[in-house]
Chain A
Amino acid sequence: EIVLTQSPGTLSLSPGDRATLSCRASESVSSNYLAWYQQKPGQTPRLLIYGASSRATGFPDRFSGSGSGTDFTLTIIRLEPEDFAVYYCQQYGSSPPTFGQGTKVEIK
């Protein structure tokens, strides 16, 4: 199975900062089928990005995804208070689908 490694584990930033989250795959992700999920405390994960760069319904354009092959990035420009959460990457190009361990974006 494909192993996803996210870095950093924790990102301490201030509102208005730019966040850059990394997700690296142990092998190439088929068709760039890489998703990102946002999970706020006490809530369920919510699909944020799919196909590496397509934003899901309801998320503003300050969220963007990029990358291909084995290296993917989630960028959040101008962090808002509601953006502080845990972000998971997930590949769905190969079975079984697998997740990264998450990056926590916390308020500095």
Chain B
Amino acid sequence: VQLQVSGPGLVKPSETLSLTCNVSGASFTNYFWSWIRQPAGKKLEWIGRIYTTGSTSYNPSLKSRVTMSIDTPNNQFSLRLTAVTAADTAIYYCAGSNWNLFDPWGPGIQVTVSS
């Protein structure tokens, strides 16, 4: 299974962060699909997950700003995080998950929030 994240590495404060994860080599419908992030020097933080039905679950700490979507025919899923601040600067990972057990992980993308 291979996951690959794409999206801008630099986002301006107050704007929207948008990332897409493309999945290959796996049965897309066999997994939940999650986003996880890690600010430098801080803990890994689960952002949320989506299933192929479109059902989502988000971390309450980010719920008001997060939207996930899924494109099953094209084996990809996406993350939108609105009203970003410097606190959203992090490495963002996409991952396949069995509910909330994460395996495999994609390579991660550094996203910096700065003007």
- A and B bind: yes
* Interface status of A11 (Cβ within 8 A of chain B): no
Chain B interface main SS type: loop
Contacts of B45 in A (CB 8 A): 99
Q: Which residues of A contact B46 (CB under 8 A)?
A: 96-99
Q: Is A88 in the interface zone, CB < 8 Å from B?
A: yes
Among the stretches A19-27, A43-51, A62-70, A72-80, the one at the interface with B is: A43-51
Convert A40-61 into 0s and 1s, putting 1 for each residue whose CB lies closer than 8 angstroms to a CB of B: 0000111100100000100000
Contacts of B26 in A (CB 8 A): none
The A interface is mostly helix, strand or loop, or mixed, namely loop
| Chain B residue at minimal CB-CB distance from A96 | B59
Closest CB of chain B to A34's CB: distance in Å? 10
Q: Which chain A residues lie closer than 8 Å to B104 at the CB level?
A: 44, 46-47
Pick from B42, B60, B103, B107: contact of A96, CB below 8 A: B60
The reply to whether B43 and A100 contact each other, CB–CB distance below 8 Å, is yes
> Given A45-B44, A99-B44, A101-B43 in contact, is the A92-B101 Cβ separation under 8 Å?
yes
Judge whether B105 and A56 touch: CB under 8 Å. Answer: no
CB neighbours of B57 from chain A (8 A): 95
